[in-house]
Amino acid sequence: MKFHITTFGCQMNVHDSQWLTAALESRGWEESGEDDAQVYILNTCSVREKPEQKVYSELGRVAAHLKRDENVFAAVGGCVAQQVGEGFFDRFPFVRLVFGSDGIAGAPNALERIARGTDDRVALLDFTAGFAEREQPEKLSALVPDTRQAFVNIMQGCDNFCAYCIVPYTRGRQKSRHPDVILDECRRLAENGVREITLLGQNVNSFGLDKGGAGVTFAGLLRSVAAIDGVDRLRFTTSHPKDIAPEVIAAFGELPNLCPSLHLPMQAGSDRVLKAMRRRYDTTRYLSIVDGLRAARPDISLTTDLIVGFPGETEEDFRQTLAMVERVGFESSFSFKYSDRPGVAAVNMEPKVDPLEASDRLLRLQALQNNITRKCLKELMGVNTDALIEGLSRKQDGPASSWKGRDPAGRIVNVPMEQDAGLEGMIVPVTIVEAKKHSLNGERTGEPW
Ligand code: 5AD
Ligand code: SF4
């Protein structure tokens, strides 16, 4: 069987798709281009209105060419599948499997049964009580790419119910994964060549606050993973500011392989709006976390998510967001216009911000961010660091090949090197020689290792 997976959304979804690929490849299935696929799998995101719309237009697009062969079918997974469920079977008859965030564990077997003709349509939408463990695929290649970077799930779901957010409904309640299983998986990946691990969860800082963590805290888990032989770089995402423990902040100063970067969604810089969003921290607390992180690790790079136009946000509230962005000096940020999501508390909050006003705020915020990003990158001129090579750069404009890598903070660094193949997954010592708008150029100063 040939299959093709298209993935929308966050890193959790990217990782889910990698796992599904590995599980299907372990059954002898083969990943293919879209045109040759007998099974077309769409892993979906519904966190904001735009990504959800993208899912429907993508399904409409593939509908046309799936119709040519009635043995060809589609499966829809992820957050939109969890939300719409069996509704997909009516709207798109070629969809024969829907699976949610816990249901994905059963997706490979369900796909096999459908392909064999044993089952016609399958819906895997139930939430499990604990973390839904998945089989460990025999074939690891989809989980261990040439870049030697891998994701490891440590938890599923979220208990926070921020007023704008659909995730607690699509990913269910928070469920930590057993730390022994997490550590076994990390060790197996490292033994198979992985040198960078990103621990994943909707809210990793509250790992272990439910029953699933077996008494291990997130800080404790970080230490254990950092101690595994071969893990040169360790990252984690996403963090909720309210749950970040002092021990996690301190870890940035103590664990040399814990990368100096943190994505810490602030969402808004007005205490009034943060309260309406039910974020359960204020700007004072947020700033004290920032100060603590910078004291522990002065070169830490901070990034964030921001929402503009949340119901009731005034011009003054928005200006406070601009002021906070400037005060913290985020190196980059993802910023979004608020959009109503089905079932969330903010749907009933008034007054809604005029969409044109919200667009204007987004532009102003992004202009400010671009200036700060430029300034942050300029300050890195002359710095000695290293880059983990991910592949050839998009632009090739010199006699040597240009390679794209990432420094420990995750910034893109392009480095010219004589070799034109085989450097993926190598770490190259570099000096930063140029700062572009969103990336850096480096010069190699030592041997790749
Ligand atoms: N509208 C706009 N942005 C949202 N996000 C989550 N829900 C919404 C919404 N309803 C943003 C938040 C979150 C990121 C993943 O998406 O900033 O951190
Ligand atoms: Fe999108 Fe959130 Fe689902 Fe990730 S968890 S796919 S960001 S809705």
Q: Tell me whether the CATH fold assigned to 144-259 matches the one assigned to 261-379.
A: yes
CATH no., domain 384-444: 2.40.50
Q: Which residues contact 259 (CB under 8 A, 6 or more apart)?
A: 233, 234, 235, 408, 409, 410
Q: Where are the domains of the chain?
A: 2-124, 144-259, 261-379, 384-444
Domain 2-124: which CATH class?
A: alpha beta
CA 251/CA 254 separation, integer angstroms: 5
Q: Give distance in angstroms: CA of 395 to centre of ligand 2.
A: 31
CA 70 to each of CA 7, 38, 59, 115, 346: distance values in angstroms, whole numbers, following the listed order: 23, 10, 16, 12, 43
Which one of 15, 17, 43, 47 would you pick to mutate in the ligand 2 pocket, going by the greatest count of ligand atoms within 8 A of its CB? 47
Note the pLDDT tens digit of each residue in 288-340. 999 999 999 999 999 999 999 999 999 999 999 999 999 999 999 999 999 99
Residues found in the chain? 449
Residue nearest to ligand 2 atom 8, measured at CA: 47
- ∠ CA 297-300-305, rounded to 5°: 135
Burial profile 129-148: b = 16 or more Cβ within 10 angstroms, e = fewer: eebbebeebeebebbbbebb
Q: Which residues contact 90 (CB under 8 A, 6 or more apart)?
A: none
Alpha helices in 255-378 (DSSP H): 271-276, 283-296, 315-328, 355-378
What is the pairing mode between strands 384-392 and 427-435?
Answer: antiparallel
Instruction: Return contacts of 83-86, CB within 8 angstroms, 24+ apart.
Output: 83/46, 83/166, 83/169, 83/170, 83/342, 85/123, 85/125, 86/123, 86/125
CA 1/CA 115 separation, integer angstroms: 8
Query: Is residue 265 in contact with ligand 2, taking CB distance under 6 Å?
Result: no
Residue 369: half-sphere exposure toward Cβ, Cα within 13 Å: 20
Burial profile 292-325: b = 16 or more Cβ within 10 angstroms, e = fewer: bbbebbeebbbbbebbbbbbbbeeebbebbbebb
- In this prediction, residue 69 carries a pLDDT of 78
Domain 261-379: which CATH class?
A: alpha beta
Closest ligand 1 atom to 334 CA: 17
CA 193/CA 143 separation, integer angstroms: 11
CB of 37 closer than 8 Å to CB of 1: no
- In this prediction, residue 64 carries a pLDDT of 78
Copy the structure tokens of residue 17.
């798709």
Q: Give distance in angstroms: CA of 375 to centre of ligand 2.
A: 31
Q: Give distance in angstroms: CA of 384 to centre of ligand 1.
A: 36
Query: Is residue 9 in contact with ligand 2, taking CB distance under 6 Å?
Result: yes
The ligand that comes nearest to the alpha carbon of residue 267 is 1
Give one word for 174, left, alpha or beta, with left for phi > 0 and alpha for psi -120 to 50.
beta
The ligand that comes nearest to the alpha carbon of residue 10 is 2
CA 339/CA 346 separation, integer angstroms: 9
Q: Give distance in angstroms: CA of 166 to centre of ligand 2.
A: 8
Helix 315-328 and helix 283-296, axial crossing angle in degrees, nearest 10: 10
Q: Which residues contact 51 (CB under 8 A, 6 or more apart)?
A: 8, 9, 44, 45
**CATH topology for 144-259?**
Transcription Regulator spoIIAA (3.30.750)
**Lateral strand order in the sheet of 301-308:** 261-263, 301-308, 332-337
Closest ligand 2 atom to 8 CA: 6
The alpha carbon of residue 449 and the mean position of all alpha carbons in its chain are separated, in whole angstroms, by 27
Answer whether 0.75 is exceeded by the pTM.
yes
Mean pLDDT by 10 residues, the chain (449 residues): 96 97 98 93 95 91 78 94 94 94 97 95 95 95 96 96 96 96 98 98 94 94 98 97 97 98 98 98 98 98 98 98 98 98 97 98 98 98 98 90 97 95 97 96 97
Note the pLDDT tens digit of each residue in 52-64. 899 999 999 888 7
The structure tokens 């592949």 sit at 391
What is the pairing mode between strands 30-31 and 155-156?
Answer: unpaired
Helices and strands: H and E segment counts in the chain: 13, 19
Residue nearest to ligand 1 atom 1, measured at CA: 338
